[in-house]
Structure 1
Amino acid sequence: MHGREIFPDNTSCSGFCAKCGTVHTLGPGKAVQHCHELMEKLDDTCRADFDIAENEANPDLSTAYLFGKARGQMFGVMTYLDADGQEKTAKAFSGQFNGYWEIPGWVPPVINPQEFYTLTADTERKIKSIGRELDEHAPKSASHMNLCAERKKLSQGLMRAIHSIYKVHNFRGEIRAMPEIIYGSKGIPTGTGDCCAPKLLNFAACHKYTPLGIAEFFYGLENRSATRSHKTFYPSCTDKCGLILGYMLCGL
């Protein structure tokens, strides 16, 4: 059983482009059909690494994860024309799948995973150490408050550093760090650039492919806020993707 398709004005991903002063959009096209095929593949194999032999499957990539603590995840498919004008498809999952940035057969993240791990390892250890130290001090004591302030400063600095290593491509041949392309001045929400549409568009722009359509659906246990349900299609989010998709779609 497949869920509803929610694509207002037949638009699956969109964003305001500051350079053009307009909203760039892309519709779902044939990608919906390929999403249904992807759902069936996930249903049948019960794993995300179905592009490799079953005897090589990683237990961590079982879809059981999506019906437990993860409470589901977004998946997407893009149809595109390759350099030879052949119509092909690519698929993506949002964020990390049970801690994995990369899975065979899926497009890579916008971020370089190794660069991400190198950048974050030391600071995350310090942040966790402060967290343990906080337990040794009374809440609202001077020591507790100082440690909280130190942890916040480290976290904010780390997020700024992480955002700077997102190298985002568009269809004008431009490559810019994410803080340079964010539309608006409210800051960059955690997870921006990690959704399916940015991954798929970045993949296409990097290889000079021409996207024809993108569709995204939710797979797994309904999320806690009840805004996402199993096998239902949704357009790209406005709070994260909407900040960068205008730039990414520019020149298409």
Structure 2
Amino acid sequence: MQPTPVRLTGEFDPSAACRGGCARCGREHVLPVGPARAPALDLFERLTREKRIDFEAAEPDPRFSTDYLFGEAGGQMFGVLAARDRSGATVVLKAFSGQYNSVWDVDGWAPPLLDTARFRADTFEAEQRIKAMGREIAGMPHGSPARDLLIYRRRQASAALMQEIHAMYRLPNFRGETVPLPLAVHPAGNPPTGTGDCCAPKLLGWVATHGLTPLGLAEFYFGRTNRSGSKEHGRFYPSCLDKCGRILGFMLCGLEGA
């Protein structure tokens, strides 16, 4: 059951919808909410009204019902970016964070920043090995040297896999540059799991590679409150600093001269 519809609200600096330090130039780059707020309100109302995200489909796909967002999986962030095309017209794009009910690509929504077919092919075996280690660990006596060693090996294998996955992401900016995700991270170091999967990176990646100039960004949460209680249905939020903030500076670099 979905809750009673609410009005989208939020309390944050409208001049800084997303921001981040830049690994390329060392400066902080910022994108405001700007003209994205009104279409974000429209998207929220449409999700509430139609109760699905596959707006382009003639027949609704049960996988894309918004009921999913109020179940055990919890809600997700949705983002809207307003941009100017080469003719000077304003266009609006939308994105959801991560995967939607285990699906990366949905018609009408910004795609991920990696080749999902390559991702599935190149990570399958490693993921299976890590899962097998987990099952073996579960059957071993707690505190045994063999169990501790296997836990260490699984941790090392997981870290190696995450580095391989991050290297698959290609992040463009507004200077015409594209680099693997690890080279865009600021400050340098291993970024958290899920870096690059949020709405803002997806949207900025698409517009940067299609000759558009971002004018504003707005993101809101839709669905069941997350486990930590930090995200609630019907509220605007700025882009996260711990993940998005590590790469958005690079992705926004060059926008000042666009």
Please classify the TM superposition score into its range, dividing by the shorter chain length: over 0.9
Instruction: Give the 3-state SS of the residue equivalent to 1:25 in structure 2.
Output: strand
Query: Which residue does 1:142 correspond to in 2?
Result: 145
User: 2:23–2:187: 8 Å Cα contact kept in structure 1?
Assistant: no
Identity %: 45
> 1:84-95 alignment to 2 at 5 Å?
84-95=87-98
Offset from partner CA, 1:115-138 (integer Å, 9 cap, x none): 111121111111111111122211
User: 1:80–1:88: 8 Å Cα contact kept in structure 2?
Assistant: yes
Query: Which residue does 1:15 correspond to in 2?
Result: 20
Query: Which residue does 2:31 correspond to in 1?
Result: 26
Tell me the distance in 1 between the aligned counterparts of 2:44 and 2:182.
34
Identify unmatched segments of 5+ residues in structure 2.
Answer: 1-5
Query: Which residue does 2:133 correspond to in 1?
Result: 130
CA offset at residue 249 of structure 1? 0.4
CA offset at residue 64 of structure 1? 0.9
Tell me the distance in 1 between the aligned counterparts of 2:31 and 2:76.
22
**How many residues are treated as equivalent by the alignment?**
250
> 1:33-182 alignment to 2 at 5 Å?
33-53=38-58, 55=59, 57-182=60-185
Tell me the distance in 2 between the aligned counterparts of 1:132 and 1:22.
46
Instruction: Give the 3-state SS of the residue equivalent to 2:82 in structure 1.
Output: strand
Aligned AA (1:32): R
Query: Which residue does 1:212 correspond to in 2?
Result: 215
CA offset at residue 149 of structure 1? 1.7
Tell me the distance in 2 between the aligned counterparts of 1:62 and 1:170.
33
Tell me the distance in 2 between the aligned counterparts of 1:69 and 1:8.
31
Query: Which residue does 2:11 correspond to in 1?
Result: 6
Tell me the distance in 1 between the aligned counterparts of 2:79 and 2:208.
17
Mean Cα displacement is larger for which, 1-10 or 108-117?
1-10
User: 1:6–1:235: 8 Å Cα contact kept in structure 2?
Assistant: no
Instruction: Give the 3-state SS of the residue equivalent to 2:28 in structure 1.
Output: strand
Q: In the alignment, which of 188, 191, 195 is matched to residue 192 of structure 1?
A: 195
Tell me the distance in 2 between the aligned counterparts of 1:202 and 1:9.
22
User: 2:8–2:44: 8 Å Cα contact kept in structure 1?
Assistant: no
CA offset at residue 22 of structure 1? 2.0
Offset from partner CA, 1:187-237 (integer Å, 9 cap, x none): 210011111001000000011111111100000111122211111001111
Instruction: Give the 3-state SS of the residue equivalent to 1:60 in structure 2.
Output: helix
Tell me the distance in 1 between the aligned counterparts of 2:31 and 2:95.
17
User: 1:192–1:241: 8 Å Cα contact kept in structure 2?
Assistant: yes
Instruction: Give the 3-state SS of the residue equivalent to 2:209 in structure 1.
Output: helix
Aligned AA (2:28): V
Q: With structure 2 as the length reference, what TM-score do the two structures score? A: 0.93
Tell me the distance in 2 between the aligned counterparts of 1:109 and 1:58.
20
Tell me the distance in 1 between the aligned counterparts of 2:212 and 2:174.
9
